[in-house]
Amino acid sequence: MDQVAEAAGVSRATVSRVINGAPSVDAKIREMVQRAIADTGYVPNVAARSLVTRRSNSVALVISEPDRPDNHSFLNRIFTDPYFGRITAGATSALRPHDIHLVVIPTDSTDHHQVVRYLRQGHVDGVLLISSHEQDTLPRQVHDLGIPAVVSARPTSPIAVSYVDVDQRLGARLAAEHLLNRGCRTLATISGPLDIPSGLDRLDGFRAFLSTRGFPSVPTIEGDFTRAGGEAMARRLLAQHPNIDGLFVANDLMAEGALRALQDLGRRVPDDIAVVGFDDSSAALDCRPLLTTVRQPVEEMAAEMAEVLMAHIATPGRLPRSVTFQPSLVIRNSA
């Protein structure tokens, strides 16, 4: 930096001002400094900068997955579910204009300690926390750290924290309505894990709406949000209730598996049985027939999370607030 200052014939302070875009610099001097920077190939030292600004200009995207008793590692699940790619894309797009970097940290409950230590050390200015598991203690721990944070869904315990969510119940209702409108009269659902709020809310919303329309009870089977789980649950569901003609599956990945099971069982979709998914992820387009599904604007939600987080970082005392997005129905070929 001293080199640059000397090359431009100014003081370090002025070089700093130019780099940080301070308005009070003469245009000519600014230009000289910029040329000097280009000539010397100078790159600011981030450590020194954050030492004084107490900003790292990066935020963590912590993806907290419960450890389930299956043979797939949580990393594998995270990198296989298109949902997380959309989250990353959305957050990145919002952060990039502010030149803030995203550090992706996948975790399961076994290394919460590591994550907390990382956050405490001040590597990042704030946290985007993707946590859906009800028993997950990470939201509370992060909250107690006092570091700015935004959570991806309504927290299960009453923590004063900002969050962004989609109206899950409304989404389920859209699915139910559509199935009824098509003429389906024997509805069923493969729910998500019931220890996850989104799983619970979608099931609740689906049942609640149907009961107002004269369907007091609906065959339900609990799934795990994976493709293989969807396939297995569909098989089991149809074995128990062979005459189902409308199926709501709580996410697209399971719906993809369910469609495969239905095909194996010789059911035509949507003629014999109509299927509606949830998410509108890329998996919906991998399905045959193409999946009718409830669209969750995941990218926009992640971007909003990032915006809210940046606001919290900029204004430390800011009160938590929540933002709810509306889902919409995307009609394709499966229903």
Residue 316 in contact with DNA, rule: CB under 7 A: no
Q: Return the exposure string of 9-39: e unless at least 16 CB atoms fall within 10 Å of the residue's CB, then b.
A: ebeeebbbbbbeeeeebeeebbebbeebbee
Minimal distance, residue 113 CB to its own copies, in Å: 12
24 binds DNA (CB under 7 A): yes
Helices of type H across the chain: 2-8, 12-19, 27-40, 46-53, 74-78, 82-95, 112-120, 138-145, 168-181, 197-212, 227-240, 252-264, 283-286, 298-314
Cβ proximity to DNA, 43 vs 239, nearer residue: 43
Residue of 114, 7, 9 lying closest to 64 (CA atoms): 114
Minimum CB–partner distance for residue 36 and DNA (Å):
12
Q: Are 86 and 298 in contact (CB under 8 A)?
A: yes
Alpha carbon of residue 230 to chain centroid: 21
Least gap, CB of 129 to its own copies (angstroms) = 16
- Is 250 within 8 Å of 229 (Cβ atoms)? no
29 part of the interface to DNA, by CB under 7 A: yes
Residue 281 is given by DSSP the state -
Contact positions vs its own copies (CB under 8 A): 43-48, 50-51, 54, 56, 58, 72-73, 75-82, 84-86, 88-89, 92, 96, 101, 103-104, 106, 114, 118, 120-123, 227-228, 260, 282, 285-286, 288
Q: Among residues 40 and 186, whose Cβ is nearest to its own copies?
A: 40
Count CB atoms within 10 A of the CB of residue 274: 22
Residue from 31, 38, 39, 45 binding DNA (CB under 7 A) = 45
Say which entry of DNA, its own copies, none residue 1 contacts (CB below 5 to 8 A, set by partner kind).
DNA
Residue 25 binds DNA (CB under 7 A) = yes
Question: Which 165-184 residues touch DNA, going by CB under 7 A?
Answer: none
Q: Which does 112 bind (CB under 5 to 8 A by kind): DNA, its own copies, none?
A: none
Q: Which does 26 bind (CB under 5 to 8 A by kind): its own copies, DNA, none?
A: DNA
Residue pointed to by tokens 């004084």? 52
267 vs 273: CA distance, rounded Å:
7
Q: Does 16 bind DNA (CB under 7 A)?
A: yes
User: Which pair of tokens denotes residue 43?
Assistant: 């790159």
Nearest distance in Å: CB 56, its own copies:
7
DSSP class of 98: G
103: contact with DNA by CB under 7 A: no
Size of the site for DNA (CB under 7 A): 24
Q: Which of 21, 41, 51, 214 binds DNA (CB under 7 A)?
A: 51
Contact residues toward DNA (CB under 7 A) are 1, 9-14, 16-17, 19-20, 23-26, 29, 42, 44-45, 48-49, 51-53
